[in-house]
Amino acid sequence: MVVEGLRVRHPGADAPAVEDVSFTVRPGEVIGLLGPSGAGKSTVQAVLARLVRPVGGTVTVLGTPLEKWGHEYFDHVGVAFELPASRLRLTARRNLTAFAALHRVPVADPVELLARVDLADHADRRVATFSKGMRMRLELARALINRPRLLLLDEPTSGQDPVRAARLREVIRAEADRGAAVLLTTHDMDTADRLCDRLAFVSGGRIAALDTPRGFRLRHGRPGVIVEHREPERSGGFRRVRRVLDTTKPEAADELADLLRAGLVETLHTREAGLDEVFAALTGDRL
Ligand SMILES: Nc1ncnc2c1ncn2[C@@H]1O[C@H](COP(=O)(O)OP(=O)(O)OP(=O)(O)O)[C@@H](O)[C@H]1O
């Protein structure tokens, strides 16, 4: 999928929600859109889900310009946005079989999909009785029913406990490994860091920076280690000291080696910028 110079203005809005956004998502790749509320992330996804028409730029999906696609577009695209599309009065299984019937491409097995999102035990319960987290997981399963080549996910791990969030990250990674191009939005730094191959920081309708999570941390972090160690006092006791050693300086290696040899080190961490710090540095805003 290739987006070039995308510009979107919502009807009645004073300013464009998206200005000059360009990026590519290759098969097998997971790209995360990060940014403060109102930055334009969902608007970019809404264009790709054909919910909103852009006023400028080009979007090419699977080699074909977006406007040239007919209804068969949705045979190749999976969408899980915040507003659930599932029918509340139907069971989880029935929802998936109903959506599967809409497609003219080979579909995934609903029961297997429900197991993947940890809903196997609830397949025959009505969705109205599901918790918010369960409904979100069903949305992901629904988005995967047509084994999509492009997967659009809005906050796929929100409302999940840490174990389930990790499980969903595995499911999404498996889709990318199968060859899907994945574009997701997230405010969850764990998901950004552990799942995404590249991150686009969106601010004010533009991409402020695009890089791998590691690239961002290295570029915005300062090399160094944080050492907590005991320091002998004249009284014969010890006090605890926390120091930051700049590992670009040669003397840091000697200092650290001395502390380690003396058995005084209690904790040792590398000093890296977290993605939230990177974000604040790039956009002057917080997530
Ligand atoms: N249907 C709409 N009509 C008018 N303006 C809209 C509409 N949808 C979004 N906007 C505006 O477009 C801008 C971008 O919104 P968007 O929902 O894309 O942000 P976002 O980055 O996805 O935010 P969040 O993290 O809160 O989901 C905002 O100023 C928003 O108020």
Among 7, 8, 43, which residue has the most ligand 1 atoms within 8 Å of its CB, making it the best to mutate? 43
Residue-level pLDDT at 164:
94
- Residue range 214-231: average pLDDT? 86
Among 14, 34, 42, which residue has the most ligand 1 atoms within 8 Å of its CB, making it the best to mutate? 42
Residue-level pLDDT at 39:
92
Residue-level pLDDT at 190:
87
Q: What is the ipTM of this complex?
A: 0.95
Same domain, 120 and 241: no
Residue-level pLDDT at 284:
67
- For residue 245, pLDDT beyond 50: yes
Pick the residue whose CA is nearest to atom 26 on ligand 1: 37
- For residue 82, pLDDT beyond 70: yes
Residue-level pLDDT at 287:
45
Strand bridging mode 225-232 / 238-245:
antiparallel
Answer whether 164's CB lies under 8 Å from 118's CB: yes
Same domain, 237 and 208: no
Alpha-carbon distance of 42 to 46, in angstroms, equals 6
Same domain, 58 and 151: yes
Same domain, 229 and 135: no
- Per the domain annotation, does 277 fall within a domain? no
CATH at residue 181? 3.40.50.300
Same domain, 212 and 235: no
From the list 151, 82, 45, the residue with the least C-alpha distance to 54 is 45
Alpha-carbon distance of 74 to 64, in angstroms, equals 13
Q: How many domains does the chain have?
A: 2
- Per the domain annotation, does 238 fall within a domain? yes
Q: What are the pocket residues of ligand 1 if the criterion is a CB atom closer than 6 Å to any ligand atom?
A: 10, 13, 17, 35, 37-43
Categorize the per-residue pLDDT at 175 as very low, low, confident or very high, splitting at 50, 70 and 90: very high
Categorize the per-residue pLDDT at 285 as very low, low, confident or very high, splitting at 50, 70 and 90: low
Categorize the per-residue pLDDT at 115 as very low, low, confident or very high, splitting at 50, 70 and 90: very high
- For residue 88, pLDDT beyond 70: yes
Alpha-carbon distance of 196 to 170, in angstroms, equals 11
Domain that holds residue 262: 222-271
With a pLDDT cut of 90, the percent of the chain lying above it is 75
Considering the entire predicted model, what is its pTM? Answer: 0.86
- Per the domain annotation, does 245 fall within a domain? yes
Same domain, 228 and 145: no
